[in-house]
Chains A and B, each alone.
Chain A
């Protein structure tokens, strides 16, 4: 793993949600290198090294993407579509982390290749526990894809 590899790409537009998620991640002590994208376009720029991120080193995908669905500019499902349609990003695990419990969002998310779908609970304790389990599973338990998976 390169030293500057981003562990989590957190795509979240809501500032409070972002703050609470960052706090929950910090409480869980599971991630130090977190890249934040505040809308879909920024997320795609980061992943495909465009715009502000055009200088970013290639072959260095994040290990996990936490993706909100309701996003400005490019929405979450469109971001997911592009991630899963591109061979260089397809192998990155994507966890949809959203307020929405709409069945259609879940169905579409899974159809498009989301690896997990989690509704943010209202109860902060539950949220903390969810984030802890999530980080633990995807970053520690789960075998990350080998490099060839990103060719």
Chain B
């Protein structure tokens, strides 16, 4: 009895402790999972062009070829543009679509320029500049975070990238 009392007397704090531990682990998981997902990938990103453009669709393969400086079968599309407004979007684009690091991509483009006379890919550093560029070059394409889309006037989504 004394033993039972002692056991029962000790039981509630152990149970409370275990429950607390589980809650703590659960809370950590709840916090970590979205954080991990966020750190792996940015918000939704789309490839856009000007609303007056004839470019209606592009495959991921064509997008990759375009950004590597190769010609693509879709004759409507002109030149690709790199969006440097959000560095995370740029890094994720290189990782998800180009499958290469920034360093590897830059050197590949330099080789392409001096091997085949290809063009450097234009880099733009503000949403205003992107909007202006698409106005002037309606058949060019650029990747942007979907959250930034309302700030680019007259844009048309070509394809959702991720």
Is chain B found bound to chain A in the same assembly?
no
B interface with A by C-beta (< 8 Å): none
A interface with B by C-beta (< 8 Å): none
